Structure 1
């Protein structure tokens, strides 16, 4: 995953990323065609160009909740695709690229700790692998998300930030729209990112990235742990 941090005026650190290391695809070469289909890719009607998808013609718009105070994110949950994974902090590696979660842990995602905390004003980033050498990983089904699906980020303050999906798009790695994906936002927004866009067997790499765009539409309290839990 290539990464060049840049500063733009007083808007803070903007991560301009071209993600290319969120999955190996090697398992596809060996036995994926027989044992498992390639990861799903978003259809055109889930992109921004198709326009928004509303719950129904009679549904009144719900006012967005106020931005949340900063608090460390602990887990990401996406009920519609069965994701419930812990989050680790992601920083920059020695080359200045965004570090990625360990590939050997299939159910682990990471949040960019130098960006906005999920739920606060700004653009928050969560990245995860689509696969590893043994098969599908945490964000394998990211491309099957639909508009209005929910993404929940559990935080250390006991509150959960609930995001609604605005669009799911796939981009070629050579033409990744950094500003569209990572530009600062005036409201709490979220980006989920993984590899996608087809797979080049000769180079053993994915051709691009799947990106999910969402914004904060709700908050809730996590239930207190019961005595004896843990």
Structure 2
């Protein structure tokens, strides 16, 4: 996409993001918080984002989980992302309730789930764009294995995660237990999710979700 252009559609975070059904017994995939004219999503996903774990990428060993504390800020230096984090719950339909569009540059954390740094998979969600401009996770699809994700927590500590997988999951073939279940329950893992694919006028929704997976590799004490 040329510099300075805006997506044709009014991207909206898929608030029907599914939490790990096997871990929490919750199905959050249920609705699409979208309003728009259609077009393509801000980051072009598909082959660009579905890189998985390329051969030859050396990844560091996992760090043991650390004491629980809520997230306060998330940074992905390689993507220029730095944003506050707020806890979010479920709405009346059972879907995760993302930050309102007035807070499009804020990341939502499912506050009833795993805290980043603790054992299990923590879920962070962010809008890709609004009806007028890119939002906090506009560039998330450009993440690559080996990239660092730093989560500053309320106790002053910093949990540093390393991206190990980047995938695009079509909404019509979405397996919540596979996507959001911890790959190793002994590790501290992170999922960062936003919309991807193209904007479908018929369903008034994006066709896929970009899911970036990371695991804890370092921790800085307060």
Aligned pair partner of 1:2 in 7, 16, 21: 16
* 2:171 is the alignment partner of 1:166: no
Q: Which runs of 4+ in 1 moved over 4 A?
A: 3-8, 22-26
Aligned pair partner of 1:13 in 24, 43, 59: 24
The 5-angstrom pairing of residues 14-53 of structure 1 reads: 14-18=25-29, 21=32, 24=35, 26=37, 29=39, 38-41=42-45, 43=48, 46-48=51-53, 50=54, 53=57
Q: Helix, strand or coil: the match of 1:2? A: coil
Cα distance, 1:125 vs structure 2: 0.3
2: CA distance, partners of 1:22 / 1:153: 26
Greater radius of gyration (CA): 1
Q: Quick one: structure 1 residues 204 and 96, their matched pair in 2 at CA, closer, same or farther if it must change by over 3 Å?
A: closer
* 2:215 is the alignment partner of 1:204: no
Give the TM-score taking structure 1 as reference length: 0.79
In structure 1, the partner of 2:96 is: 98
After superposition, give the CA deviation of every residue in 1:34-68 in whole Å (9 maximum; x if it has no partner). xxx831326366215x557216xxxxxx5432211
In structure 2, the partner of 1:136 is: 134
In structure 2, the partner of 1:214 is: 214
Moved more, 13-22 or 80-89: 13-22
Query: In 1, are the aligned partners of 2:127 and 2:137 still within 8 Å (CA)?
Result: yes
- Flag the structure with more relative contact order, 1 or 2, with Cα contacts below 8 A and sequence separation at least 6: 2
Structure 1 unmatched ranges of 5 or more: 56-61, 223-230
Query: In 2, are the aligned partners of 1:199 and 1:206 still within 8 Å (CA)?
Result: yes
Count of residue pairs brought into register by the alignment: 205
In structure 1, the partner of 2:108 is: 110
Cα distance, 1:221 vs structure 2: 4.1
Structure 2 unmatched ranges of 5 or more: 1-14
Cα distance, 1:183 vs structure 2: 1.3
1: CA distance, partners of 2:119 / 2:139: 27
Cα distance, 1:110 vs structure 2: 0.7
In structure 1, the partner of 2:187 is: 187
Q: Quick one: structure 1 residues 218 and 137, their matched pair in 2 at CA, closer, same or farther if it must change by over 3 Å?
A: same
